[in-house]
Amino acid sequence: MLSREELVLRLFEIEAVKFGSFTLKSGIVSPVYVDLRVMISYPSLLKEVSELLWKKAEEANVQYKSLCGVPYTALPMATCISVDHDIPMLIRRKEAKDYGTKKKVEGNCEKDSVCLIIEDVVTTGSSVYETAEILEEAGVRVTDAIVLLDREQGGKANLCNKNITLHSVFTLTGVMKILVEKEKIKPNQLQEVKSFLAKNNSFKPSTIHRSLSFRERGMQKQTHPVARRLFDIMEQKQTNLCFSADVDNFAELLELADKIGQYICCIKTHVDIMEDFSAQNIKSLKELSVRHNFLIFEDRKFADIGNTVRSQYTGGIYKISDWCDITNAHSLPGPGIVSGLKSSLDDKSTRACLLIAEMSSQGNLADSKYKQSTVEMASEHGDFVIGFICTSKVSENPSHIHFTPGVKLINGVDGFGQKYLTPDEVIRRRGSDVIIVGRGITESANRIKTAKEFQEAGWMAYNRR
């Protein structure tokens, strides 16, 4: 086995770590360049590195059943560990197969078993997190990741925010210190890299808003009045449960709203599935929302050009904008959809919108770039957009509220690909704010008791995070 110093010198020799002036994809000029892909041309070094990664997991006493390398550079490293130590491996596909099973993960995903992620270099931690999300969708849990080189640009803190502990064999400055000692680079190069890293850190301390209470988030200056009302209701009634009242008649909907109103902060409707829509029925729902203090959210999922959604929001037989506090829209058509919706409102302080950043259904097409663009769109329309439909927290802005559908008391999938997660997973682990529950309540033999159970589970998860 090579010593740590010898290994660093080898990495320097094969130019896996280079110093100078490099223009990165982002346009930023960096004094350091790391590319561990070259290692596959040096099998004995690859074996040494893999052994070090495995040892790191041993030292940290990580308990795991399988391992998975982040594609592509860490794949051969994970394979070496798997073969040398007889540990089952999983492979994350970069693209889901478009034929056959559409699997995103290959290998035996034993439900709820822990999978250890192996990575070559971590900068922001996003590749590790993306891999963890896909593994978790496949049913395994991720608690830890081992990386050969931490570039110290916020990845560890970002992953910690997502409840993943990152263990690194080397840090970039640690590698450089060895190279300075061995007189391969000059001390001023180390200083230069240090100040580059400090300036280019992806961890924003604002992320501490995870621990801000709903009340505090309601009090932020930029929080929209509708979001403020919702945060207030949540704290007052101690509930982050939004009931998805997917029934087809108002007698049932009004009865449910009356019976479980005390446990919810919001009721979600699909007005176009009601058999008996009428202004009078909507008036009755409004009255119940005042009596029990909850908001009304029409899950209309607008998806057209601005001019059309404007008419769909205000006109037709439903006149949605007359009665719903919150509605939602796809970001797919671009910002015109938001401008169109809000242009119809005389008073923007009483109506608000959630943008759909991702859906709860399997195989939905929202990738991380789509999510990111949706968050940017929301930020440009803070006078109307108050948050997102998503499966985990997407925005660091404490004024934004995250709503997550696909919630039941146990994980699972329905017959049409709706994926269910538990309140604890959604609120505590994934950092969302509000659980949306439909059939978890409507299909229960005792709907009132079950609604209370969801309210308690959602609130407990909020208090635990």
Site track 37-66 with ligand 5BU (rule: CB under 6 A), x = hit: ------------------------------
Query: Residue 94 region, left (φ>0) first, then alpha (ψ -120 to 50), else beta?
Result: alpha
Q: Is 304 a catalytic residue?
A: yes
Q: Is 272 a catalytic residue?
A: no
Counting contacts by CB under 6 A, is residue 449 touching ligand 5BU? no
Indicate the residue among 64 and 302 with the shorter CB distance to ligand 5BU.
Answer: 302
Residue type (1 letter), 463: N
Indicate the residue among 155 and 406 with the shorter CB distance to ligand 5BU.
Answer: 406
Indicate the residue among 99 and 416 with the shorter CB distance to ligand 5BU.
Answer: 416
**Selected catalytic residue, list 304, 319, 348, 452:** 304
Q: Is 299 a catalytic residue?
A: yes
Q: Exactly one of 110, 235, 246, 383 binds ligand 5BU (CB under 6 A); which one?
A: 246
Counting contacts by CB under 6 A, is residue 424 touching ligand 5BU? no
Cis peptide before 263 (omega within 30 of 0): no
Counting contacts by CB under 6 A, is residue 283 touching ligand 5BU? no
Counting contacts by CB under 6 A, is residue 387 touching ligand 5BU? no
Q: Exactly one of 244, 289, 397, 450 binds ligand 5BU (CB under 6 A); which one?
A: 244
Query: Do 155 and 202 contact (CB within 8 A), yes or no?
Result: yes
Counting contacts by CB under 6 A, is residue 431 touching ligand 5BU? no
> What does 322-363 look like in DSSP terms, one character per residue?
HH-SEEEEESTT-THHHHHHHHT-S-TTS-EEEEES--SBTT
Cα angle value 50/55/57 (rounded, 5°): 100
**Selected catalytic residue, list 177, 301, 319, 348:** 301
The four Cα atoms 323, 329, 335, 336 give a dihedral, to 10 degrees, of: -60
Query: Do 371 and 357 contact (CB within 8 A), yes or no?
Result: yes
User: According to the annotation, is 438 in a ligand binding site?
Assistant: yes
Tokens representing 124 are 């922001």
Contact partners, residue 346, CB within 8 Å, separation at least 6: none
Counting contacts by CB under 6 A, is residue 296 touching ligand 5BU? no
Counting contacts by CB under 6 A, is residue 245 touching ligand 5BU? no
CB of 178 to ligand 5BU, least distance (A): 49
Q: Counting beta carbons within 10 angstroms of the beta carbon of residue 118, is it exposed (0 to 12), middle (13 to 18) or buried (19 or more)? A: buried
Catalytic residues: 299, 301, 304
Residues interacting with ligand 5BU, by CB under 6 A?
244, 246, 270, 299, 301, 356, 359-360, 389, 405-406, 418, 436-440
Binding residues for substrate: 246, 268, 360, 418, 438-439
